[in-house]
Structure 1
């Protein structure tokens, strides 16, 4: 009789009858208790009858009706079909199995915005998500330009169904107010500060006539007209860079100077298909051919850029540009997520000496502290960030070294590394069905990213090579 009959009751394998073999030991004689191997029996004191479905599944999986080889084949076929179905919704592909990113539906119409004025109530509200590299672009440019007050932000996090959701306003029986931490503290998931919705999908549906399309981040919401102003990330960072200089805290920073616009566009034409979208084409590939094509394009581009950055501080020389921001948001997630989860395994960014130092350079990008309108929230003695209302203190990403200087890092404050890991590993079920979250790679920790990069010395070399200085 098979062992399965001892574990799973079934009409095909009736329970083994048992008898009472206990004997009363004779008096004045030593009684030896013999040890018998433990046998798992299906019998219980009051066994509940198995349901037909449970019985059928038991016989199918553990009975003689399906050999192991056939079981593996059946499960493989079922899982593959289910996986392709899920991937078709998560990541649509073309005929070759290569991921095809849908275009953004709402493009910015810069002419429709009136010129912003000081002390004017914010007209636009930014919706962003910490795991998303496209939303991260907008958060970085917003921070570097000092637009935190003029463009408020709400931070969504992945929901169990893959949509972007906002944290619950209630914790137990107490109403808890959550504030997005800016100007020194790492950004964190928040409530919907503009509309009070529970998900980004609900915000999109507030438009007249509703909306049933993709609810993506980043998204700029027009508070007055109650419509989506823009959900194309590059349009948003262009607007943040040059559209609000009269209200920006750091108007002198230009991430897209006219003299470099052509070079920036050339770099973007390489970065977007091969790196930004390239990692997704690796991770979402639905055929071996599509994966091979994507991974070869990705690493040949990274190799080329590592060589280029050997004697150039940034992509366009001595000036930080929008092209650098677009590349950075993929690099900062590469070793954290893409290297393993998206099968970009040929090399890690930490193995590229120039790319890794370049990434640290941008991570540590700072602005003058005097331009921060909320610098009073920083307690320079304890190196803590006070979060309004002042009910708790959270550890800041800043070190005392920065607080002793006249500048304060802004890019690092937008990099919630744990949220990046969680956002991919815990919610991309088709790629990680076991929901196991890996530990953070040592080369991606804040302490490593904050180490000196020594790339300032390349500035003079860049000026000599391309023939321009600071814009």
Structure 2
């Protein structure tokens, strides 16, 4: 785990001393946009873009799901980094650190080196490293090339509701597990822990009345929540000390998780071996032995009962 400072790599863990033990995530730095007509500066074209991901990363997982659901596997290249992240950060399969891509694009870059990255091969530019924005590009910009029919995951009529639930889920659940897991004081951990499970209780209640978070169809809000839920029992319960309840202990959340997992094309994006290896083998400050648990056994293919 580290970052670049003026283009120089530093193996530095997150600074929690200045925040009272609280983990604070850095905002993404590359925020350009791909559009169908190219007026944004980047035009949607086949074989122009490459997606850099980790199968372990929940933020990158969102983009993998959209790429699969839209049938863009032959349109947008994929590069998967090694699941173990040590003193040089994410590593490419050719043995080079991912941070060399950042400095190739911007030699004086300062910030964390993260995935996903949407990269433009034509102009040798990083379009975006913000997953929330990449999935919206994949939702509509490449529709002329999509090989699968997929409903609009961010329909105009529901955008306000989707944005509201996204904000709630992001702060309390998606990032909430990290706030608990990376906290370095008891107070910071307990605050994150309580907020996390209060939020899960709220979502459990929503799902007791609705099949999905917003509206009558799956939306981007569901996929943004899914990538945290699918990692929860295998990683966050133990590794991040989020152990008040498991997802399997929530009847509606558990059924909902299985429902989403069983959407055609989604299961192949879930690589539990990468997920467990990354968290348990990469975070030396949390799991210094690097021992990876053998369990738990979780059957995401069991009947979900959410007709």
Same fold (TM over 0.5): yes
Partner of 1:309: 207
Describe how 1:140-159 pairs up with structure 2 within 5 A. Answer: 140-157=65-82, 158-159=84-85
User: Does the C-alpha gap of structure 1 residues 208 and 356 become closer, same or farther in structure 2, counting only changes over 3 Å?
Assistant: closer
* TM-score normalized with structure 2 length: 0.90
Q: Aligned ranges for residues 214-363 of structure 1 at < 5 Å?
A: 214-363=112-261
CA contact (8 A) 2:204 2:250 kept: yes
Correspondence for 2:33? 109
Q: Is the 8 A contact 2:158 2:215 kept in 1?
A: no
Does the alignment pair 1:124 with 2:49?
yes
Query: How many angstroms apart in 2 are the aligned matches of 1:245 and 1:286?
Result: 45
Structure 1 gaps of 5+ residues are: 1-87, 169-196, 367-409, 457-471
* Pair 135,208 (structure 1): closer, same or farther in 2 beyond 3 Å: closer
User: Structure 1 residues 208, 327: closer, same or farther in 2, change over 3 A?
Assistant: closer
Instruction: Give the aligned CA root-mean-square deviation in angstroms.
Output: 1.6
Residues 245 and 251 in structure 1, CA contact (< 8 A), matched pair in contact too: no
- Correspondent of 2:304 among 453, 460, 465: 453
Query: Which protein has greater RCO, CA pairs closer than 8 Å, 6+ apart?
Result: 2
What is the CA–CA distance in structure 2 between the aligned matches of 1:149 and 1:272, rounded to whole Å?
A: 30
Asked if structure 2 preserves the Cα contact closer than 8 Å seen for 1:126 and 1:154, the reply is yes
Cα distance in 1 for residues equivalent to 2:274 and 2:260: 19
In the alignment, structure 2 segments of 5+ residues that lack a partner are: 1-10, 35-39
Q: Which residue of 2 aligns with 1:414?
A: 269
TM-score by length of 1: 0.59
Query: Deviations 1:348-390 (Å, cap 9, x if unpaired)?
Result: 1111111011001111112xxxxxxxxxxxxxxxxxxxxxxxx
Q: Which string of whole-angstrom CA distances, capped at 9 and with x for unpartnered residues, describes residues 2-21 of structure 1?
A: xxxxxxxxxxxxxxxxxxxx
User: Whole-Å Cα distance in 1 between the matches of residues 255 and 294 of structure 2?
Assistant: 22
Structure index of larger Rg: 1
Cα separation, 2, equivalents of 1:258 and 1:131? 31
After TM superposition, the runs of 4+ consecutive aligned structure 1 residues lying more than 6 A away are none
